[in-house]
């Protein structure tokens, strides 16, 4: 099992949804980085469950305990380890999924891979809960990137068939449900509520921008910036698609429209007039904002009846998933996307700083 990411910083995630704790170790984090704990907690609260209508009712405080790697509030150069205790687990809700795997979840593939030894409770190591330690690591690096003039911010671009095509130039003030256009935000919330009322779930798209990334980071072929971002972004459970810049819409364009003309910017540096490349050419940053979009599937655990197979009796059966689940993963995933992007960006930056 590989739960380790990064080349210059090494993020290791551990724990299961219902184990004593979940956590992370960040190895290779330089000394002297200040952790603003209040800001970090505020960031973690954006992801934490049980706080609003579009989240699971499993409430967790999600307060990280730092075991090592900090002297006061400043990294000391040793590996940084933090744990988050799991306080509100109801494992009985999950016992049946070892025999009757949930359609859309990892119960069946976990059985194929771990032969009955897997921990099914709360989704085990596959759970969206493992994104809390990603947010601890990423939340710290977001603060450090900001000190270095790099801003990372994400928004909800779409939920179901409702999208918000407003320009996205700054972080959205409503961090709990970050949608630029307020009318679209209300429609999206109604869509999530309607799915929830039907015992169903709904998917969506998150868009993320990284401003201030210097040009010249990354490598061609296998270690391109897209590949390195993709590796951590696809580690977020429920992510099914990723596009940079114009992404899939590039397939419908002509070169004359898609190429980003070079220009001299107000500050005298070279930029591009448009940014269809999403800040990356040949796997290397070009100094323009990195822009990407992630498609999230609808939450697999739904109470609408679905067909599954009973692995003991080898008969087809109907399953209605009970328990506490997010009717839409997207709002809680927004800070996770920012954290994952910060980890990828910081890992790239360390390559040239060393």
The nearest distance, CB 203 to ligand FMN, in angstroms, is: 10
Name the token pair of 223. Answer: 């270690």
Taking CB under 6 A as the rule, does residue 131 contact ligand FMN? yes
Q: Which residues pair with 15 in a beta bridge?
A: 22
Taking CB under 6 A as the rule, does residue 272 contact ligand FMN? no
Q: How far apart are CA 51 and CA 30, in angstroms?
A: 34
The nearest distance, CB 90 to ligand FMN, in angstroms, is: 12
Taking CB under 6 A as the rule, does residue 105 contact ligand FMN? yes
Q: Which is nearer to ligand FMN, 276 or 332 (CB)?
A: 332
Q: Which is nearer to ligand FMN, 231 or 353 (CB)?
A: 231
Asked whether the beta carbons of 273 and 258 are under 8 A apart, the reply is no
Taking CB under 6 A as the rule, does residue 164 contact ligand FMN? no
Q: Considering only CA atoms, which of 290, 286, 292 is closest in space to residue 271?
A: 286
Q: Report phi then psi at 51, rounded to 5.
A: -110, -10
The nearest distance, CB 6 to ligand FMN, in angstroms, is: 19
Q: Report phi then psi at 88, rounded to 5.
A: -125, 55
Taking CB under 6 A as the rule, does residue 17 contact ligand FMN? no
Q: Considering only CA atoms, which of 204, 200, 197 is closest in space to residue 321?
A: 200
Q: Which of 89, 325, 340, 346 binds ligand FMN (CB under 6 A)?
A: 325
The nearest distance, CB 326 to ligand FMN, in angstroms, is: 4
Q: CA end-to-end span of the chain, whole Å?
A: 29
Q: Which of 236, 291, 294, 348 binds ligand FMN (CB under 6 A)?
A: 236
- The CA distances from residue 172 to 52, 169, 210, 236, in Å, are 18, 9, 14, 22
Q: Which is nearer to ligand FMN, 69 or 298 (CB)?
A: 298
Taking CB under 6 A as the rule, does residue 237 contact ligand FMN? yes
Taking CB under 6 A as the rule, does residue 238 contact ligand FMN? yes
Number of residues that bind ligand FMN (CB under 6 A): 21
Q: Which of 15, 101, 123, 178 binds ligand FMN (CB under 6 A)?
A: 123
Q: Which is nearer to ligand FMN, 88 or 275 (CB)?
A: 88
Q: Considering only CA atoms, which of 121, 105, 130, 114 is closest in space to residue 5?
A: 130
Q: Which residue has the tokens 């459970």?
A: 237
Residues in the chain: 354
Q: How far apart are CA 267 and CA 124, in angstroms?
A: 50
Q: Which of 288, 300, 341, 349 binds ligand FMN (CB under 6 A)?
A: 300
The binding site for ligand FMN (CB under 6 A) comprises 56, 105-106, 123, 126-128, 131, 236-238, 297, 299-301, 325-326, 329, 332-333, 336
């Amino acid at each position: 099992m590989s739960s380790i990411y990064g080349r210059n910083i090494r993020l290791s995630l551990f724990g299961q949804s219902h184990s004593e704790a979940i956590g992370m170790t960040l190895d290779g984090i330089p000394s002297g980085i200040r952790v603003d704990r209040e800001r970090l907690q505020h960031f973690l609260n954006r992801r934490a469950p049980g706080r609003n209508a579009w989240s699971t009712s499993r409430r967790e405080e999600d307060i990280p305990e730092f075991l090592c790697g900090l002297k006061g509030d400043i990294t000391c150069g040793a590996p940084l380890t933090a744990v988050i205790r799991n306080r509100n687990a109801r494992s009985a809700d999950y016992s049946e999924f070892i025999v009757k795997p949930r359609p859309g979840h990892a119960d069946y593939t976990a059985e194929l891979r771990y032969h009955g030894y897997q921990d099914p409770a709360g989704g085990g190591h596959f759970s969206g809960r493992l994104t809390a330690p990603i947010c601890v690591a990423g939340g710290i690096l977001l603060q450090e990137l900001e000190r270095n003039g790099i801003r990372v911010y994400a928004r909800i671009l779409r939920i179901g068939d409702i999208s918000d095509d407003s320009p996205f130039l700054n972080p959205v003030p409503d961090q709990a449900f970050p949608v630029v256009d307020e009318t679209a935000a209300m429609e999206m919330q109604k869509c999530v509520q309607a799915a929830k009322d039907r015992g169903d779930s709904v998917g969506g798209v998150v868009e993320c921008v990284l401003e201030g990334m210097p040009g010249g980071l990354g490598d061609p072929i296998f270690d391109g910036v897209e590949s390195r971002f993709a590796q951590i972004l696809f580690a977020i459970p429920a992510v099914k698609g990723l596009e940079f810049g114009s992404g899939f819409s590039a397939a419908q364009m002509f070169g004359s429209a898609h190429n980003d003309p070079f220009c001299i910017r107000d500050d005298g540096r070279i930029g591009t007039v448009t940014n269809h490349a999403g800040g990356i050419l040949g796997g290397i940053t070009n100094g323009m904002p990195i822009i990407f979009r992630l498609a999230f599937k609808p939450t697999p655990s739904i109470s609408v009846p679905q067909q599954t197979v009973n692995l003991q009796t080898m008969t087809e059966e109907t399953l209605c998933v009970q328990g506490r689940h997010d009717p839409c993963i997207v709002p809680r995933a927004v800070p996770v996307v920012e954290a994952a992007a910060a980890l990828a960006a910081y890992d790239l930056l360390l390559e040239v700083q060393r």
